[in-house]
Amino acid sequence: MAMATVLSRAQHGMEAPLVRVEVDLDGGIPRFSIVGLAEAVVKESRDRVRAAITNCKFVMPDGRVTVNLSPADLPKDGGRYDLPIALGILLASEQLPAASLRDCEFYGELSLSGEVQSMQGVLLAAVAAARVKHSIFVPRANVAEAALVTGCRIAIASNLPDVVGHATGVAPLHFIVGAAPLSLGGSDADLCEVRGQKTAKRALEIAAAGAHSLLFMGPPGTGKSMLAQRLPGLLPPMSEDEALEVAAVRSVAKLPINTARWRVRPFRTPHHSASSVALVGGGSKPRPGEISLAHRGVLFLDELPEYDRSALEVLREPLETGCITISRAAHQAEFPASFQFIAAMNPCPCGYLGDERGICHCTSEQVRRYRSRLSGPLIDRLDLHVEVLRVPHAVLRADVKCETTAEVAARVLRVRELALARQGCTNAHLRGREIDRVCHPTERARRLLDRAATQLGFSARAYHRILKVARTVADLAAAERIDVAHVAEAISMRKLDRTTGTQPVPLLPCSSS
C-alpha cells in the first residue's frame, strides 16, 4: 500500500477551502474510485486521468486506486481536480519524489493527451494560496487572473510532463509573482456629452459624492439613461481590495474577468423582465445575482415600474445592509451587495405627463396605478428623486462648453476623501449616532427641515436621508455646517415626496427669522 497527498482548493461560495487529494494504492482487484462527495464531472476524471497518464508515457499503477477528496462533507465539482489527482497517483506510485510538491497547489483539467486546460474560480484559489504563502500551478489561460493577486507565486502548468519535469528537477518551471495592474481602464462616456440638464447633472454629482441612491423621472428621450451611464466615471477608482472583491464575485458567478478594466467600477443594467432570483441571486446551488455583480459599483434599473413588483421588493434589504443571504433547505450562501442604486422611470404610462406639448392623455387614476407599482418602502429608501425634463432643440444644437467627467470626478473624490477621514464611510452609509454627530444643521436649516417634514409627511427614514444628502451638498460647498440652502436643495430633490396625484404640493415659505 502506498499513499500520497496533493493540495488543491474548492470553489465554494466566496471562499476557497483547501482540499487534500489523497491517493491510496494497493494490490487488490483493479479499480479506480473517487470518494469525498464528488459530483459526476469529478468522477469522470477517472477516465481523463488514466488516459493522460498513459499517453504521457507514465505508468498507471495496477491494482486498486482510491482517490479521497477531503474534507468529505464539502461538495466537489468541476474539472479542477484532474491535475492534482494525476500527480497524486504519480507520487503514490513513486514516479515523483515524495517532497517535490510541498507547499504547492495545483489546478487544471486534463485532456486525454495530458494538456492542462482552463478552469473557473482561479482567482479565489490564488487569494487563499497567497495568504498561506503557497505556490500555485495553473493553466496558461488562467495565469492573468491569478496574477491579479499581489504576492501570489504562479507557475504555468501547460501539460502533465512539464509539471513532472519541474517536480523531478529535470526542467524547473519559471515562477512569476502576481501584482495588481495599475491600469484604470477609463470610460468612453463623458458627462459633457449630455446637453442641458443642469439639475439632473447636479443630482448625479451629489449622488456620486455621497453614494446616494437616485431616481430619474421624465419623458422618453430626455437623457435619463445617458446620465445614468456616466455615473461610474464620476466614482473614485476602486482600491486593490475592492477590485479583488468584485473579481471574486465574477469568479464565483463563472463570468470572465477583464484585467484591462481592473479598477473600473461595475455597471449592471438588467432588463426589466429580470426575475427576483436574477436580481438578488439564488438557484438550487446559490449563485450571485445582479446586485452582487454590481458590488462596489452601480446597479441601473431603467423603466423601473415595468419590473415585477416582487422583484423590486427584494432590493429593500440589500439597499440597507449591503449584503444578501440566500437560504435553502440544505445550506445558506451570503454574497456581498454593496452597490449604488440608480433608476429611471417615465412619469406616466404613456411617458409624456407634464410635457409642454400637452400630448399626454393619461387620467389621474392611470397615473396613480402606474406609480403604485413602486411601493412606499422602496421609494422611501431612494435618496434623490429628480425630474429630467425635455431639452429645447436650440440647446442641443448649441456649442456650449460644459464640465467634463474628469472635472466633476475631482470634486467627487475630494468629498469622498473628506467623508472617509471624518466618519470612515460615505455620507449615504451613516448610521445612528453618526448622523447626529456629522449631519448637524444650523437652527434655521433645522426649522426648514421640520416644516417640510410636517407638511409633506416625511417618514423618519426620509428625514434622515434628507439630512445625509444635505451633508453631501454642504461638503461639495466646503461648508462645515449644514445650512438652509443645503437642506432646501436636498428637499427639492425628493420629487415623489412632494407629489399628490399629478400636481406638486408647494412648500410653505420659510421665515427669514
What CATH number has the domain bearing residue 70? 3.30.230.10
Residues 159 and 217 placed together within one structural domain of the fold:
no
Note whether residue 474 is domain-resident: no
Residues 213, 469 contacting (CB under 8 angstroms): no
107 and 214 co-located in one domain: no
CATH number (domain holding residue 241): 3.40.50.300
The mean pLDDT of 219-235, rounded to a whole number, is 92
* Residue whose C-alpha cell is 412648500: 507
Residue 69 lies inside a defined structural domain of this protein: yes
Is 121 contained in some domain? Answer: yes
Report which secondary-structure segment, H or E, holds 491: helix 484-492
Residue 20 lies in a domain: yes
For residue 346, give every residue at least 6 positions away whose Cβ sits within 8 Å of its Cβ, in sequence order, or none: 217, 218, 219, 220, 303, 305, 353
Whether residue 264 contacts residue 237, with contact meaning beta carbons closer than 8 Å, is answered with: yes
Q: Which of 401, 429, 457 corresponds to the end of one domain?
A: 429
The chain-wide mean pLDDT, for the chain, equals 88
Q: Are residues 208 and 160 in the same domain?
A: no
Residues 173, 195: one domain? Answer: no
Tens of pLDDT along 460-479?
Answer: 999 999 999 999 999 999 99
Domain's final residue, options 398, 429, 460: 429
Residues 262 and 166 in one domain: no
- 436 inside domain: no
Check: CB of residue 158 under 8 Å from CB of residue 165.
Answer: no
297 and 416 both lie in a single domain: yes
- 260: Cβ contacts below 8 Å, ≥ 6 apart: 183, 185
One domain for residues 91 and 150 = yes
Answer for the pair 186, 404: CB distance below 8 angstroms, yes or no: no
Sign of the four-CA dihedral 151, 152, 157, 163: positive
Query: Which residues does 223 contact at the CB level (< 8 Å), separation at least 6?
Result: 194, 196, 197, 200, 388, 391
Query: Which of 152, 177, 202 finishes a domain?
Result: 177
pLDDT tens per residue across span 382-429: 999 999 988 877 777 766 778 889 999 999 999 999 999 999 999 999
Do 230 and 172 reside in the same domain of the chain?
no
- Give the three-state DSSP class for 379: helix
| 270 and 381 inside one domain | yes
Rounded-to-integer distance, Cα 2 and Cα 64, Å: 11
Residue 248: the pLDDT is 86
The amino acid at residue 110 is L
Helices (H), 137-271: 143-146, 160-168, 198-210, 224-228, 231-234, 240-252
Whether 186 maps to a domain, the answer reads: no
Whether the per-residue pLDDT at 119 is higher than 60: the answer is yes
The span from the CA of 131 to the CA of 105, in Å, is 13
> How many domains does one find in the chain?
2
The pTM (predicted TM-score) of the whole model is 0.85
Domain that holds residue 296: 191-429
User: Is the same domain home to 153 and 293?
Assistant: no
pLDDT reported for residue 452: 92
Do 380 and 232 lie in a common domain? yes
